Amino acid sequence: MNLFNIIEEIENVDPEVYGRISERRDVIKNITSFGSKVALAAMPFAIGTIFKKAYAQTTTTPSVVAILNYALTLEYLESTFYNAGKAKGTALIPAAAATNYFNQVTTDENNHVTFLKGVITSLGAIPVSAPEIDLTAGNGSNAGPFADVLTNYQTFLAVAQVFEDTGVRAYKGQAANILANKAAAEGVKAGLYQTVLTAALGIHAVEARHASAIRSIRGATPWITSTATLGNDTGIGLVNANYDGEQNVSQGGVDVTTLKSVSGSTTSVAIATAAFDEALSMDQVLAILQGSFLVKH
């Protein structure tokens, strides 16, 4: 097996593959070596798991159109959220924050909606309609736990962070499904696979930048930093499910905390969890959002 040839082939369709394999620079900085023949022997398993994490797998593969409509549903939610915030003007969002961040991210989310609808329509399929949305997470009551989301800037920021972090994990969770649909996609339309994969990876990267920016605005680390028992680092217990799994420290069958770091013979849980993102499946995301932000009757 020539690992470099494999990575080169993946890079042809995903220029950001290296960022997905090691999504946090800290993992390179802090984990210096496996340090034993045992670890070296485990490298094929570690490599396999790293790619599974980068392109998360599910047991049931949805169709290309189903994946696109799922992505569109998530983009409807984010687009609705940011447009509602923008409509409030400086009564909610400080002018500098709007100029430096929120105006751009609102445009990005609107463009994502337009793009996904266009791709779905080009396939002769019907884009899913915008769902009924309750930005307070009240399942249509508009009096949920985030009732002041459009009047309190700090609440608005907190919900923005949760949406962005969840969006990144959600897109990552569909990468393998897109890969599994290659033959089916090409059967529908020549070049469709490349179009969908490139677009999905591009949107995923943009969502990751949104997440990093909003986390920085809130004074958090740009990446999710978990404890041994809790993936959620927002301080908001209501959204624990959005971050469940981020506390994982095992990669490729290796407990990352047992590896050397620049500061000692082991690696902290904080660094180990920050070094790798975990994906969310379609079922997981919908279970989190439906009945709260996505109204379920």
Name the residue with tokens 């800037």.
153
Within its chain, how far is the Cα of 57 from the centroid? 14
**One-letter amino acid identity for 83?**
N
pTM of the model as a whole: 0.78
Within its chain, how far is the Cα of 168 from the centroid? 1
139 sits in the region (left: phi over 0; alpha: psi -120 to 50; else beta) called left
Q: Give, in order, the Cα–Cα distances in Å from 45 to each of 57, 252, 267.
A: 16, 5, 20
In Å, the largest CA–CA distance within the chain is: 61
**162 Cβ contact partners less than 8 Å away, ≥ 6 residues apart:** 234, 236, 239, 242
Inter-residue contact 22 to 275 (CB < 8 Å): yes
What is the per-residue pLDDT for 40? 43
CA dist 288 and 294 (Å) reads 9
CA dist 103 and 121 (Å) reads 27
What is the per-residue pLDDT for 84? 98
**One-letter amino acid identity for 242?**
N
What is the per-residue pLDDT for 57? 45
**79 Cβ contact partners less than 8 Å away, ≥ 6 residues apart:** 106, 109, 110, 112, 113
Per-residue pLDDT of the chain (297 residues; tens, 9 = 90+): 454 455 555 555 454 444 444 444 444 444 444 444 344 444 455 555 555 555 444 456 788 899 999 999 999 999 999 999 999 999 999 999 999 999 999 999 999 999 999 999 988 899 999 999 999 999 999 999 999 999 999 999 999 999 999 999 999 999 888 888 888 777 777 888 888 888 888 899 999 999 999 999 999 999 999 999 999 999 999 999 999 999 999 988 999 999 998 889 999 999 999 998 899 999 999 999 999 999 998
CB atoms within 10 A of CB 8: 11
CB atoms within 10 A of CB 258: 13
